[in-house]
Amino acid sequence: MSIWEYANPKKFMDTTAPAVPWLFWGSVALLVVGLVWGFFLTPNAENFQSTVKIIYLHVPAALMAINAWFMMLVTSIIWLVRRHHVSALAAKAAAPIGLVMTVIALVTGAIWGQPMWGTWWAWDPRLTSFLILFLFYLGYLALWEAISDPDTAADLTSVLCIVGSVFAVLSRYAVNFWNQGLHQGASLSLDKEENVSDVYYIPLLVCMAAFVLLFVALVLMRTGTEIRLRRIRALEARAERGAAGA
Amino acid sequence: MPELGKYAVAVLSAYAISLALLAVIIGMSVARYRRVKAALERVERGRNG
């Protein structure tokens, strides 16, 4: 058995369709638990006061904004190398979700920044790279809509995705590259460094898990939709050829 | 309701906007899924019938 079997649209849909409701309702349950826990059951922080509660939406959204682009990068490279349509359609399906996550991260960041920094916006390395990532998402979606041939659109958007990955990396590591700006360092890290108190850490992890599951559920659902749309176009084109030949 | 103090508007508006945006992307994805699924069934019925 090989992972490439799932590049077959029917196999992909048969395998993923039953999982989507479980993933979706699992994400909803986790989000309710995480947000209720974080909003109602955690104390205000000394430094951030009640605005610390924004972390349960801001950090998971920022995480998914960046990782959605990385997922699109992987599937775009698979398209360019192996020409599997499902991978190109999965990248296309993920882009609107990544865009929404980026908007949530930018908006909640601005709302959080105003009382803490005294400004809605600053040309800080992380904020600026996130804004550029947002523009890349818009450009990526516009490019898919602008080109009528789906294979050409997949080729060009894949190249755009590779270029945009620079800014996805910058969004994640900008605070490490440039030791300046208003934005703090990473809230979570894989090393032993403790950046968030345990009181906030566990509900934050629950919310992050919820956002990951929601992203996966929506990508699978939207990829299924794109596969069906492709099938409709193929059947209509076949019918037109048949009518022209008759 | 937790004590949000002078930042209540900021916190509540961050939650309202975020949850509204999540609802929009979920709603749009589900609506499009249903619409396209029904359209494919129509096309396949027409092809077979």
Residue A188: pLDDT above 80?
A: no
In this complex, is the C-beta atom of A96 within 8 Å of any C-beta atom belonging to chain B? yes
Q: Which two tokens stand for residue A87?
A: 């991978």
Percentage with pLDDT > 90 across chain B: 73
Tell me the shortest Cα–Cα distance from A53 to chain B, in angstroms: 7
B18 and A96 in contact by Cβ < 8 A?
A: no
Tens-digit pLDDT profile for residues B7-42:
999 999 999 999 999 999 999 999 999 999 999 999
CA gap A163, A157 in Å, rounded: 10
Residue A140: pLDDT above 80?
A: yes
A107 and B18 in contact by Cβ < 8 A?
A: yes
Tell me the shortest Cα–Cα distance from B23 to chain A, in angstroms: 10
Higher-scoring residue by pLDDT: A176, A219: A219
Nearest residue to A93 via CA among B36, B19, B38: B36
pTM of the model: 0.91
pLDDT band at A190 (very low <50, low <70, confident <90, very high): very low
SS3 A49: strand
* CB within 8 Å of chain A, chain B residues 17-36: 17-18, 21-22, 24-26, 28-30, 32-33, 36
B-chain residue closest to A223, CA distance: B33
- Please give the mean pLDDT across all residues of chain A: 89
Mean pLDDT of A137-143: 97
CB distance A47 to A70 below 8 Å: no
**3-state helix vs strand vs coil in chain A, percent to 5:** 80, 0, 20
Tens-digit pLDDT profile for residues A68-109:
999 999 999 999 999 999 999 999 999 999 999 999 999 999
Tens-digit pLDDT profile for residues A192-221:
455 677 788 999 999 999 999 999 999 999
Q: What interhelical angle do A55-82 and A198-245 show, nearest 10?
A: 40
Helix (H) or strand (E) holding A226, with range, is helix A198-245
CA gap A183, A196 in Å, rounded: 15
Mean pLDDT of A41-58: 89
**Which residues in chain A have their CB less than 8 angstroms from residue B25's CB?**
96-97, 100, 218
Nearest residue to A63 via CA among A104, A112, A110: A104
Residues 6+ apart with CB under 8 A from A207: A30, A31, A34, A35, A38, A56, A57, A59, A60
- What ipTM was estimated for this complex? 0.93
CB distance A155 to A89 below 8 Å: no
pLDDT band at A6 (very low <50, low <70, confident <90, very high): confident
The per-residue DSSP string of A78-137 comes to: HHHHH--HHHHHHHHHHHHHHHHHHHHHHHHHHHHHHHHHS-S----HHHHHHHHHHHHH
CA gap A242, A246 in Å, rounded: 6
Residues 6+ apart with CB under 8 A from A135: none
First-last CA distance in chain A: 43
SS3 A43: coil
CA gap A96, A173 in Å, rounded: 23
**Which residues in chain B have their CB less than 8 angstroms from residue A228's CB?**
36-37, 39-40
Residue A43: pLDDT above 60?
A: yes
B47 and A112 in contact by Cβ < 8 A?
A: no
